[in-house]
Amino acid sequence: MKYTPPEIRTVDVVRYVTPLREGGSLPAIVEADDEFLYVLKFRGAGQGVKALIAELISGEIARLLGFQVPEIVFVNLDEAFGRTEPDEEIQDLLRASEGLNLALHYLTGAITFDALVNEVDAKLASQIVWLDGLIVNVDRTCRNTNMLMWKKELWLIDHGASLYFHHNWGNSEEQAKRPFVQIKDHVLLPKATDLQTVDKEFSIILTPERIQAIVALIPDSWLAGVESPFTTAEEHRQAYANFLNIRIANSGIFVKGAQDAI
């Protein structure tokens, strides 16, 4: 079947609805000019645009692999929002985030996944554990599952803490070949008993062409001025593709690490 590269829509914020005071990054629910609600992730928060890049890449990889992931959009934030917000902390965040940000479609009425209540079979658990091993996602634990149940389906959210290698580019190729030690804390690890089968299936899907199409989505404005050893935005994007392609080619390493941790 012919592969269609992903496309990301761009919307403008028209109304700041409410902050989501979970964690330190203060995401917010906003309304956009398409009349939908979104969970907005700010470029001026926490880890800055690196968290947005991780959210974009990891979310679109998850979608390509067949997971339910809320639509990801680019979001323009006008400077006017920073002037009208009465909360000084939020005002500072808005001012630091003027320009292009990232958001996910808000799943109204969704509830947090509870491993003690919501059933997940071995295949799906193995698929999610494999994904998180690939993207080195430290944030899918019992304490914070970053999964939602919406319309009786499981949805994956919040991948901003993944791809943490990009905080230290010096040995990214070496890091790509390492097992993912933090997988031992994964909320679904005890049920991930079908990792070998999933490894074969997912490695076939994630071709270099498809990885290249996903990293090509990263906006130039998120790569300009970011502390890195790269001279161009394209070189910067290619470094993400190289990491992912090396990790996929050596997926047996993180799969074995996960199996040993069960």
For 116, phi then psi, to 5°, come to -85, -15
The answer to whether 191 and 122 have CB atoms below 8 angstroms apart is yes
24 pLDDT exceeds 60? no
Pick 186 or 172 by higher pLDDT.
186
DSSP 8-state assignment for residue 218: S
The beta strands (E) that lie in the chain are given as 10-19, 28-32, 37-41, 72-77, 99-105, 111-112, 147-150, 153-156
Q: Which two structure tokens, joined as six digits, stand for 121?
A: 């079979």
58 pLDDT exceeds 60? yes
How many other CB atoms are found less than 10 A from the CB of residue 34? Answer: 11
Rounded (5°) CA angle 105-223-140:
45
Could you state, in order of their start, the residue ranges of all structural domains in the chain?
10-105, 111-261
DSSP letters, 153-178, are EEEE---TTS-GGGG-GGGHHHHHTS
| CA quadruple 175, 136, 189, 191: dihedral, nearest 10 | -110
> What's the rounded Cα separation, in Å, for the pair 85 and 231?
37
The answer to whether 134 and 61 have CB atoms below 8 angstroms apart is yes
SS3 202: helix
Query: pLDDT tens digit string along 251-260?
Result: 999 999 999 9
pLDDT-based confidence at 91, cuts 50/70/90?
confident
Pick 96 or 163 by higher pLDDT.
163
